[in-house]
């Protein structure tokens, strides 16, 4: 596959997902420039994530047993990737005056997650081909968006309610959820059909949090 199609299959679906979630912020939509910045910050988050995960690459690819795989997926993959996506928003967009609703935390972190997933998909597609890239662009991107969106809900609440410790509840949730998801998929413990079911359940959980966030908006 040439570079053009690699970029298309990796980034176009990700940007379509950004638009899909952006439309959910119906009372006081965020500046599109900040949403796209979040997407770019998510791309940049891939680089430190790769550096932190690299020493564990061989062990993750060939774990001695399922217990070790579970530990690695939670304490390496889940921890590193969710923290990196969080950090690039917490120390940039979070400080903006535009971040003034609970739902904004969801929108910005979802956008960062989709940038992260898009660049990750580019790396996978370049090795594994178009079909894998296309599948990841829709399924894996939504998984990343759901995890980070859940965390974004707690980040938004922590800022609007001046309760900084709330974000740690979100972090623990998504690190464990991410790790368990990867454990089930990488361990070959579930079928493709069940993967789809899990993705749908994750999305509905996020949709419920979006609804709760919009209910407390001061702009409605």
How far, in Å, CA of 43 to CA of 167, rounded? 22
Are 115 and 12 spatial neighbours (Cβ–Cβ below 8 Å)? no
Range of the domain at 125: 3-215
Residue among 51, 72, 50 nearest 62 (CA)? 72
Q: How far is CA 55 from the centre of its chain?
A: 22
Give a yes or no: residue 220 inside a domain: no
pTM of the entire structure? 0.94
- How buried is residue 65: exposed, middle or buried, by Cβ count under 10 Å (0-12/13-18/19+)? exposed
Tell me the pLDDT of the chain (220 aa) as tens digits. 678 888 888 899 999 999 999 999 999 999 999 999 999 999 999 999 999 999 999 999 999 999 999 999 999 999 999 999 999 999 999 999 999 999 999 999 999 999 999 999 998 888 777 777 778 888 899 999 999 999 999 999 999 999 999 999 999 999 999 999 999 999 999 988 899 999 999 999 999 999 999 999 988 7
Q: Which residue has the tokens 């500046």?
A: 31
How many domains, in total, are found in the chain? 1
Give a yes or no: residue 175 inside a domain: yes
């Amino acid at each position: 596959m040439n570079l053009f199609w690699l970029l298309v299959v990796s980034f176009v679906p990700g940007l379509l997902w950004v638009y899909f979630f952006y439309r959910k912020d119906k009372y006081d939509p965020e500046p599109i420039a900040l949403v796209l910045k979040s997407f770019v910050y998510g791309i940049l988050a891939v680089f430190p994530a790769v550096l932190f995960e690299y020493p564990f690459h061989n062990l993750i690819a060939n774990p001695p047993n399922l217990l070790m795989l579970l530990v690695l997926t939670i304490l390496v993959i889940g921890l590193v990737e969710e923290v990196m996506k969080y950090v690039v928003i917490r120390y940039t967009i979070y400080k903006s005056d535009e971040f003034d609703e609970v739902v904004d935390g969801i929108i910005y972190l979802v956008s960062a997650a989709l940038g992260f997933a898009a660049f990750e998909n580019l790396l996978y597609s370049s090795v594994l081909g178009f079909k894998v890239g296309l599948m990841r662009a829709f399924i894996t991107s939504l998984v990343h968006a759901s995890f980070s969106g859940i965390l974004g809900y707690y980040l938004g609440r922590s800022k609007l309610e001046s309760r900084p410790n709330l974000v740690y509840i979100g972090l623990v949730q998504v690190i464990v959820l991410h790790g368990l998801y990867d454990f089930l998929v990488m361990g070959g413990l579930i079928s493709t059909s069940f993967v789809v079911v899990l993705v749908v359940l994750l999305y509905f959980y996020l949709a419920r949090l979006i609804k709760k966030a919009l209910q407390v908006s001061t702009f409605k």
